[in-house]
Amino acid sequence: MVRKLAAGNWKMNGTGASLAEAEALRAALPAPTVDVLICPPATLLSRLSDTLSGSAIATGGQDCHAAETGAHTGDISAAMLADAGASHVILGHSERRTDHGETDAEVRAKAKAAIAAGLTAVICVGETLAGREAANTLSIIGGQLAGSVPDLVSADRLVIAYEPVWAIGTGKVPTLHQIGEVHDFIRAELEKRFGVGVGRAVPILYGGSVKGANAAEIFAVSNVNGALVGGASLRAVDFLPIVEALQAS
């Protein structure tokens, strides 16, 4: 049985006042039947972990360095994230790949470091609009999976998030058929590479303008096991309907 996950990526948003939103979400979800994760900016991770301590809501980082320690000013290691209370880390998000030129090889190295530190790596893949229009989506996704995901993984230390770059924060959403095609492809690639046991147990999330109004229909699509949510995760009133839709799916 694949575990379901609703993950909120706060990106570069939030200050101490935002902890009230996490408190509101905690109060509304005393015993969620799906996994719930919030990945705040690094400045809030320790405080958010304290705020959610004892709850069923986990916390995670938005990136980590491949090295455990060293002269890497401004970077954060996987061990540091774990020390701050994180259980997960988002890696290879399209904004990291675009803004910082991250390659598949760099994402793989970070994922290996995260897993070694006891974190679950949430590895993002996704095509640009140009890639979609050129009918190269599956080859792009296949290449990112092959290059970004380490060889030795267990199902409880890996999550794949499919985020079509052209749908992130734009309000545009692929058709349900398009989402299903990619998620089925990812599942098949995972099973081919890691075997049925691991391949079928890794959660595959959809991300890209997910909101309460469209969550239920997206979660009904084949091999969609949850969502990686951006803007709609910043407020409890917006994120809660998505979690509830996943619980009902």
pLDDT at site 209:
87
User: In this predicted model, what pLDDT tens digit does every residue of 4-45 receive, in sequence order?
Assistant: 999 999 999 999 999 999 999 999 999 999 999 999 999 999
pLDDT at site 55:
96
pLDDT at site 15:
97
Catalytic pick from 21, 65, 88, 93?
Answer: 93
Nearest one of 120, 110, 45 to 87, comparing CA atoms: 120
pLDDT at site 46:
98
pLDDT at site 152:
84
Q: Which two tokens stand for residue 177?
A: 């058929």
| Number of domains the chain is built from | 1
pLDDT at site 168:
78
pLDDT at site 121:
98
Give catalytic status of residue 127 as yes or no.
no
Q: Please state, in angstroms and rounded to a whole number, the distance separating the CA atoms of residues 214 and 238.
A: 12
Residue 166, domain extent = 5-68+76-248
Count CB neighbours of 103 within 10 A: 12
pLDDT at site 1:
82
Catalytic pick from 95, 106, 127, 163?
Answer: 163
Q: Please state, in angstroms and rounded to a whole number, the distance separating the CA atoms of residues 175 and 234.
A: 25
User: In this predicted model, what pLDDT tens digit does every residue of 108-151 receive, in sequence order?
Assistant: 999 999 999 999 999 999 999 888 989 999 999 999 999 999 99
pLDDT at site 89:
98
User: In this predicted model, what pLDDT tens digit does every residue of 68-97 receive, in sequence order?
Assistant: 999 999 999 999 999 999 999 999 999 999
Average pLDDT over residues 47-62: 97
CATH code where residue 153 lies: 3.20.20.70
User: In this predicted model, what pLDDT tens digit does every residue of 205-246 receive, in sequence order?
Assistant: 999 889 999 999 999 999 999 999 999 999 999 999 999 999
> Would you place residue 169 in the very low, low, confident or very high pLDDT band (cuts 50, 70, 90)?
confident
3-state secondary structure of 71: coil
Give catalytic status of residue 65 as yes or no.
no
Q: Please state, in angstroms and rounded to a whole number, the distance separating the CA atoms of residues 141 and 54.
A: 37
Which residue bears the tokens 């469209």? 214
User: In this predicted model, what pLDDT tens digit does every residue of 172-209 receive, in sequence order?
Assistant: 878 999 999 999 999 999 999 999 999 999 999 999 88
